[in-house]
């Protein structure tokens, strides 16, 4: 049998207890350091996320403000159906025996710009000139290459005062 002296046992017990104590201190210290680093990283990410949320909220507010401005601007210009009825009424009033203007279609290009497709039928050259004069008054007029009676008018509307 192997015998161990009391001194030797005390010595080894002391080493084991000191080793366990040192390991426990080391483990607790490393755990606290990892916790502190994770906490700091969490705080950094939370702050970064809040900044991103604030930026997103700011951008959404700007987008909504721009949508409102766009809506107000669109409401300040005449609509396609209003143009159709007004121009048709004007053409009915100004069409004489010598020439006849007929609105075929209205194409919306942007908020303030529309293309009017007009049929001009006239009995004489003076009738064509009179009809073209009325179309030129509405906007820049281009005659169709396929049909001599078909005209395209670039109608630019002005904003009206909103109430």
State pLDDT tens for residues 53-77: 999 999 999 999 999 999 988 888 8
- 160 pLDDT exceeds 80? no
**Nearby residues of 117 by Cβ (< 8 Å), 6 or more positions away:** 103, 104, 105, 106, 107, 150, 151, 152
Closest residue by Cα to residue 133 from 108, 107, 82, 96: 96
Task: Give the tens place of pLDDT for each residue, 76-120.
Answer: 888 888 888 888 888 888 877 778 888 898 998 888 889 999 998
Enter the tokens of residue 15.
């080493």
User: Is this model's pTM higher than 0.85 or not?
Assistant: no
User: Tell me, what's the pLDDT at 162?
Assistant: 53
> Are the CB atoms for 122 and 99 separated by under 8 Å?
yes
d(Cα 16, Cα 14) in Å, to the nearest integer?
5
d(Cα 157, Cα 79) in Å, to the nearest integer?
10
Rg (CA), the chain: 43
Enter the tokens of residue 39.
């906490």
Enter the tokens of residue 127.
């009738």
Task: Give the tens place of pLDDT for each residue, 17-27.
Answer: 999 999 999 99
Q: Which of 32-36, 53-57, 136-140 has the lowest mean pLDDT?
A: 136-140
Q: What is the mean pLDDT of the chain?
A: 89
d(Cα 7, Cα 15) in Å, to the nearest integer?
12
Residue by residue, DSSP assigns 54-79 as HHHHHHHHHHHHHHHHHHHHHHHS--
Closest residue by Cα to residue 96 from 69, 129, 67, 71: 129
Q: How far is residue 23 CA from its own chain's centroid?
A: 60
């Amino acid at each position: 049998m192997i015998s161990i002296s009391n001194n030797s046992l005390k010595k080894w017990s002391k080493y084991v207890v000191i080793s366990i104590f040192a390991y426990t201190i080391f483990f607790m210290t490393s755990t606290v350091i990892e916790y502190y680093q994770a906490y700091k990283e969490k705080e950094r990410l939370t702050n970064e996320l809040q900044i991103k949320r604030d930026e997103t909220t700011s951008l959404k507010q700007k987008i909504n403000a721009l949508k409102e401005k766009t809506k107000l601007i669109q409401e300040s210009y005449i609509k396609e159906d209003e143009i159709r009825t007004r121009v048709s009424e004007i053409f009915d009033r100004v069409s004489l025996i010598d020439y006849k203007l007929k609105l075929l279609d209205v194409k919306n290009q942007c908020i303030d710009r529309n293309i009017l497709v007009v049929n001009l039928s006239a009995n004489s050259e003076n009738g064509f000139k009179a009809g073209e004069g009325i179309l030129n008054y509405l906007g820049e007029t281009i005659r169709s290459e396929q049909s001599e009676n078909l005209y395209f008018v670039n109608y630019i509307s002005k904003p009206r005062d909103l109430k």
